[in-house]
Structure 1
Amino acid sequence: MPQEIELKFALPGLRAAQALARLRTHPLLRRRRARQQRLVNRYYDTPDGWLREQRCALRVRAITPLAAPASADGARATALWEQTLKTAGTQTGAWSARGEWTVPLNRPRLDRRALLATPLGEHPEAAQRLASLQAVYETRCVRTTWVVHAPDGVVEVALDAGTVRAGGRHAPLLELELELLRGDPAALDRVADALAQSLPLLPARLSKAQRAQQLLDGTWDQPVHAQRLALPRHADPMAVARAALGDALGQVCDNLALAVRGDDPEYVHQARVGWRRWRSLLRLLRPWLPEPPAREPLQPLLDALGAVRDLDVAATETLPAWAAAFVGSPPDATRERTWQRAQRRLQAAARRERRALRARLGDPAVGQALLAHGRWLLALPERIDAPADWAAQRLARWHARLRQRLHPDAAGDAADALHAARLLAKRLRYGAEAVASTLAPKAARRLDRWQRNARAWQTRIGSWRDMERAAELLLQLHADPRLAAYLRGVAAAIRHAESSAARA
């Protein structure tokens, strides 16, 4: 089966001209000939989205060379046309491998006969379905390519800069693709590592067709949440690791890309959720996993995400929720001004931290660290021996520890115990979500109950922690200390209530 193997990256903080200039002068590419083409990709599907259901993408591409010499009569170079079908494959972060069938065309029209010779032709309704194909969206870009001959393979480096068009909407397109032309897939990693030394490479898992579909659906700017995994019953730890850790890493990278171009607080929130899923799953699978990549190279990014999230929660959730209680009824004018000034300080600080986060994403070290995490995941063994109930056993231990933390006789400070319980509740929740489909029905029902309880405790304890953090931030921002004292008083009351609930 013909196969496409590639790595795909966003370039945070760079405009198209900047990205092209950085690539042209990169030590790996500056002595290599660059070729430029104008590409128009028109994507097809049936009115009911049959190809998308089959996890396939079908395009007709027009290729026009740029800066091509004119013919003797002065005519410019004409476009070449080709048709490509891509099928579902394997994907981990930026790395993907999938089936690909390309045929040349004499004119810009679908060759349905050629499609019958692909796996689509094996479908019992193939002829009827292919007859109803129609154009649904397109991308237009200038592609600049370099060919790199590495010791273990040949890699094409391609920068695409242009637009995505769907449903009357336009959105910018800027991405870097590394495609293996021949040789060992390890050559892709070598080229990516070299480029990542000086370029901000953020792993991207969405194809152009998927992004165009988002634009058509109106989901282009929606935060990316964890996917519901459908793993086979009694899946071994490696199957869970590849699926769940791969989705967690993708959730991190997808939301970081959104945070570069938008201010929705949920982008940062979901990036942090993805990282917490990653950490929780590493703990769940620790007996069977090799040593994961070090966390330290990503710590500056994680700290930046945490700083933005704390301010977002304080400004958009904690303070608004308690505004009426603080201001009073009828409103006290002095208290209302105090509240509004605090709100403005939080919002201004959030804007500053968001700018700092975007600057951090432009640091090549971030892309290098994320690449290392994806490479580690790809190197995991295909399968490993483990007891059939390995997941239920691990999660039962976590559940027992959570109950112990919430026990009235738990040792240590009550606040520390509640915070530790919240972290355990999150870990239990993320682990349960990952392995739910692999469990026997009885174990799955028990785990669902644990997960609901963990989510409830996470929310309840979180309200106290958020209140405490909002008070700390207001003091750091030199807001009225009376407001911070009020929030701390509320936090103390919430903590007392939760401690009492734990003892009940």
Structure 2
Amino acid sequence: MEVELKLLLAPEDNDRLLKHPLIGGEGRTQRLAARYFDTPDLHLLRHGAGLRVRKVDGEWIQTMKAGGSVQSGLHSRNEWECPIDRSWPRLGKLRKLVGDDAPWRAMLDARDLKERLEPLFLVDVTRQLWDLEVDGSHIEVALDHGHIERHGKRVAINELELELKEGQPASLYAFALHLLEDIPLRISNVNKAQRGYMLVREVGVAPCRAQSLDLPHDASIGDAQLAILGNCLQHIQNNETAVIEGTDPETLHQMRVGVRRLRSALKLFDAVAPCPPGLAEDVQWLGDQLGAARDWDVLVTSTLPRADVSAAGGNALMDLQALVLETSHAKRRLAAEALLSTRYTKLMLTLGSWMLQTAPLLSGSAASFSRQTLQQLHGKMLKRAKRMNDDDPVSAHRTRIAAKRARYALEFFHALYRPKSVRAYLKNLSATQDELGRHNDLVMAARMLQALAREHPQAAGEIQFARGYLLARESAQPADLDAIRGRLHHLRLPHASR
């Protein structure tokens, strides 16, 4: 199993890296040109594998990487590597290396795979290497500078790889945090093969939803904590590039959901593994940065269109819509800047390190822990629902938050419960969230428009019209709090699967 941490840095910072006291000089240099192979229908990619052949010191080396996981930039993948006598893959030798590892052997035994393989893209880099001892761990540090190429199209590469040869994965984070004190770095959750496949498929960045999490029934609390927090980080970081480079509101929404899931997960384990205050503060900061941008996206795409423009006469609200859209774009730029900041990189590295060091200390059954946790969250949700009041919007919002936390918790632990009862519970909580969410969107819109009127007094008339219209609509179509209370009161917690 290969374990490495991937980091991005600007080419102009390469000299600073070479002169850094932790690195110590130029290192040894290699020129690496690797061709990646797959079938026209991307058979290997669809099975989560990548196959390359590259020349190293005059010898052809064949490598297949497959499966594994990525969290906080830490890539853990199965790796099979061997020398071959040509620049084209030798599948027979690869099968021998894989042996009886069933899923990967079945993938390589696909019909006519040998005949269908073709080179898809080239990765051409100059690599500088250092072998370092860090806190008792042996780390290979590699600086790669070059490009990925397919049919004349190129994508630049300038990245730092920290590969754990021997020792503890946490040492990779510790080393990266030391470098971050002097050199701007960003975590990379995408490897070279994935970037090459993006060229092949000619796809950009798209929104990524949370992946389903299947905990084994015998998982410990430590296993659960590491898996759940890792799942949340993956959700967040899978949307990073899209938020930075794109404009799709859904990518920002998914990343914000990822942070909310992370905060809920940290609270779940607070009694057994409290999050350090500084770390919790940075997670809150990230949520605030994304939340400010997302709230304006909702106003633009969902809430403001509910205002009847014709009621104001002519195009009276067109200027307001343009003003809100301009503010939304500005907030998204601020969110992107936050993701490019050293504070964000430090947060992801520190959180990854803390997870790895904390999980082994947690004993006990995840199944028992989940039952107790779900009971507590369910009870808290019912108490808040009982206190909901039509004259107090905050009371409904608190119930919505409680329902959301209960939903996230069950989604984390769903594999430990009977599927039918899980689906029924989640469906009910989702309906509660949606109904109270529409109500909250209108309340938030009124506050945001009020603030906008103070900043842009020249548009106060149009703003106050829209605000009044939305408030009137909220009053005319309030959430049915009694129905929500009744629905939650009759809701039963899912049954354990064993």
- Gap change, CA 1:136 and 1:313, over 3 Å in 2: farther
1:282-327 C-alpha deviation (Å, 9 max, x unpaired): 22333333434622235544433233223322233332343xx133
Structure 1 residue 109, shift from structure 2 partner: 1.1
> What pairs with 1:34-433 in structure 2 (closer than 5 Å)?
34-46=27-39, 49-52=42-45, 54-62=47-55, 80-119=59-98, 123=102, 125=106, 126-127=108-109, 129=111, 130-132=113-115, 134-135=117-118, 137-151=120-134, 152-165=136-149, 171-233=155-217, 235-292=219-276, 294-322=279-307, 325-328=308-311, 332-333=313-314, 336=315, 338-382=316-360, 384-386=363-365, 388=367, 390-407=369-386, 410=388, 414-433=392-411
Which residue identity is paired with 2:121?
E
Q: TM-score, normalised by structure 1?
A: 0.82
Among candidates 453, 468, 493, match of residue 489 of structure 1 = 468
Cα 1:332/1:174, change in 2 over 3 Å: farther
Identify if the C-alpha distance between structure 1 residues 183 and 428 changes in structure 2 by more than 3 Å, giving closer, same or farther: closer
Structure 2: gaps (5+ residues): 484-498
Alpha-carbon offset, residue 53 of structure 1: 5.1
Deviations 1:449-486 (A, max 9, x none): 43333442353234324422441342243152233323
1:32 is the counterpart of 2:33: no
TM-score (norm 2): 0.83
Q: 1:499 to 1:20 in 2, by over 3 A?
A: same
Identity within the alignment, %? 30
Relative to 1, partners in 2 of residues 1:25 and 1:351: Cα closer, same or farther, differing over 3 Å? Answer: farther
The one-letter amino acid paired with 1:224 is C
The 1:178–1:309 alpha-carbon spacing in structure 2 relative to 1, beyond 3 Å, is same
- The letter for the 1-side match of 2:364 is D
Instruction: Please give the alpha-carbon distance, in whole angstroms, between the structure 2 residues aligned to 1:413 and 1:458.
Output: 14
**Amino acid in the other structure paired with 2:399:** A
Asked whether 1:447 is paired with 2:425, we answer: yes
Closer/same/farther in 2, CA of residues 472 and 248 from structure 1, 3 Å limit: farther
Q: Distance in 1 between matches of 2:20 and 2:129?
A: 11
Looking at structure 1, the residues matched to 220 and 167 of structure 2 have their Cα atoms a distance apart, in angstroms, of 31
Query: Deviation at 1:389?
Result: 5.0
Q: Measure, in 2, the Cα distance between the counterparts of 1:234 and 1:467.
A: 46
Hey, what's the Cα distance between the residues in 2 that align with 1:438 and 1:219? 36
- Kept in 1, the 8 Å contact 2:4–2:163? The answer is yes
CA distance in 2, matches of 1:352, 1:58: 42
In structure 2, the residue matched to 1:467 is: 445
Distance in 1, matches of 2:159 and 2:35, equals 18
- Matched residues in 1 for 2:475 and 2:368: separation? 38
Shift of the 242–37 alpha-carbon distance from structure 1 to 2, 3 Å rule, reads: same
What is the root-mean-square deviation in Å for CA atoms of aligned residues? Answer: 3.3
* Partner secondary structure for residue 5 of structure 1: strand
Aligned to 1:117, the other structure's residue is in SS state helix
Does the alignment pair 1:434 with 2:424? no
Going from structure 1 to structure 2, the CA distance change for 1:451 and 1:432 (only over 3 Å counts) comes to farther
Q: For 2:208, what is the secondary structure of its paired residue? A: coil
Asked if structure 1 preserves the Cα contact closer than 8 Å seen for 2:208 and 2:239, the reply is: yes
Q: Which runs of 5+ in 1 are unaligned?
A: 65-78
Structure 1 window deviating more from structure 2 (120-129 vs 485-494): it is: 120-129
CA distance in 1, matches of 2:28, 2:245: 29
Q: How many residues align?
A: 475
Q: CA deviation at 1:425?
A: 2.7
Between the aligned partners of 2:28 and 2:46, the Cα distance in structure 1 is 35
SS at match of 2:144: strand
* CA displacement, residues 95-120 of structure 1 (integer Å, 9 cap, x when unaligned): 23333222233331112232022125
Deviations 1:255-280 (A, max 9, x none): 22332222333332222111100011
Q: Specify the SS of the correspondent of 1:287.
A: coil
Looking at structure 2, the residues matched to 82 and 181 of structure 1 have their Cα atoms a distance apart, in angstroms, of: 19
1:288 counterpart SS class: coil
Q: Distance in 1 between matches of 2:271 and 2:285?
A: 28
Deviation at 1:499, TM superposition (A): 5.0
Q: In 2 relative to 1, CA 183–425 (structure 1 residues): closer, same or farther, beyond 3 Å? A: closer
CA distance in 2, matches of 1:387, 1:147: 41
How far apart are residue 376 of structure 1 and its match? Answer: 1.4
- Once the two structures are overlaid, the 10-residue window that deviates more, 463-472 or 367-376, is 463-472
Q: Could you give the per-residue CA deviations for residues 135-155 of structure 1, whole angstroms, max 9, x where no partner exists? A: 363242423424152342332
